[in-house]
Amino acid sequence: MKRTVLGLAAALSLALAGGAHAQAYPTKPVTMIVPFAAGGPTDIIARIVGDHMSKTLGQQVVIENVAGAGGTTGITRALTAAPDGYTIAMGHLGTFSAAPATYPGLKYDPINGMQPIGMAGGTPILIVGRKNLDAADLKAFVAAVKANPDKFNEAHAGLGSVSWTTCTLFKGILGTPKLNAVAYRGTGPALNDLVSGQIDFMCDQIVSVSEQVKAGTIKAYAIASAQRSPALPNVPTTTEAGLPEYQIEAWNGIAAPKGTPKEAVDRLVDALNKALNDENTKKRLLELGTVLPTAAERTPDGFAALIKRDAAKLDPALKAAPK
């Protein structure tokens, strides 16, 4: 009798242990590292998408801002964390496609050394200036910068960030690679200084500047996309504004450390897709000017292909760029 009771107890504890193992991921909050300051484009997308992902996952997606070195500090932290699905990152064109060409000693490898989850949003680039700049349109602005490059202060979010990368391409086209530049921990804080007139211009992602452009607190000279944005229909494309060579599309997307279990990857991909299919989340993203990713871009393979394609595109210009 005693043996039977003991046997039952052992079987029960084995079943409980097995049950605990089988308990579905995630069993605790998931940290999503945003590698820039709060209030900037990466943070905005992460919070909107993360909000809905929390509902699907049944656990909070906690945003942690770890800024520095053009976003590479936060991404290094995320991608060297334990590959257990509890630390992921919201990176972008800069941290995943531009950083390898910008930082020779980069401590992560976006192409072979991480687990892509999916693209979260396309973020068109705008050339924006302080509201009292004399130049009324892009042609006048370009002429003024070319004539007096040392009179213009550019803001960016550090080497390899999207703002730095996209303005590097812009200045390359103008033939004025060296301007006075001020590095911030993100374009959220840079935007505050643009609004208050302490800096002159930047190349920034639509999601953080669209409200200020609509409010008239800053000037938008052009959007570097093939089409105007429905969020800012009055802003001309660079082609319409006379600089067709300047075309660049930025994006944000989620990645996890290499080796993250398939079960966790699948859950994260599913949660990202459910967020991007949710009407309210879509509305919030679209109002800010986000371009929703295609079905393929929302998958790990599609996102990996995008990272690789853009890294190859940016590599020559960024390796040659003054730093």
Binding residues for ligand MLT, per CB under 6 A?
Answer: 36-37, 40-43, 71, 92, 94, 157, 161-163, 186-188, 205
The alpha carbon of 173 is separated from its chain's Cα centroid by a whole number of angstroms, namely 24
Query: In terms of CB distance, is 53 or 75 closer to ligand MLT?
Result: 75
What is the Cα–Cα distance from 117 to 120, expressed in whole angstroms? 9
Position with the least CB separation from ligand MLT: 40
Query: In terms of CB distance, is 94 or 302 closer to ligand MLT?
Result: 94
115 CB contacts (<8 Å, ≥6 apart)?
83, 255, 256, 257, 258, 259, 260, 265, 300
* Shortest Å distance, C-beta 189 to ligand MLT: 8
- Residue 190, token pair as written in the block: 């840079």
Query: In terms of CB distance, is 41 or 129 closer to ligand MLT?
Result: 41
Query: In terms of CB distance, is 71 or 293 closer to ligand MLT?
Result: 71
Q: What is the DSSP letter of 237?
A: B
* Shortest Å distance, C-beta 303 to ligand MLT: 17
What is the Cα–Cα distance from 92 to 98, expressed in whole angstroms? 9
* Shortest Å distance, C-beta 178 to ligand MLT: 19
Angle between helices 41-57 and 206-215 (to 10 degrees): 120
Angle between helices 300-320 and 162-174 (to 10 degrees): 50
* Shortest Å distance, C-beta 92 to ligand MLT: 6
Give the CA angle between residues 89, 123, 212 to the nearest 5°.
Answer: 110
* Shortest Å distance, C-beta 164 to ligand MLT: 7
- Residue 43, token pair as written in the block: 């943070």
* Shortest Å distance, C-beta 263 to ligand MLT: 30
Query: In terms of CB distance, is 84 or 193 closer to ligand MLT?
Result: 193
Query: In terms of CB distance, is 42 or 168 closer to ligand MLT?
Result: 42
Element (H, E) at 51: helix 41-57
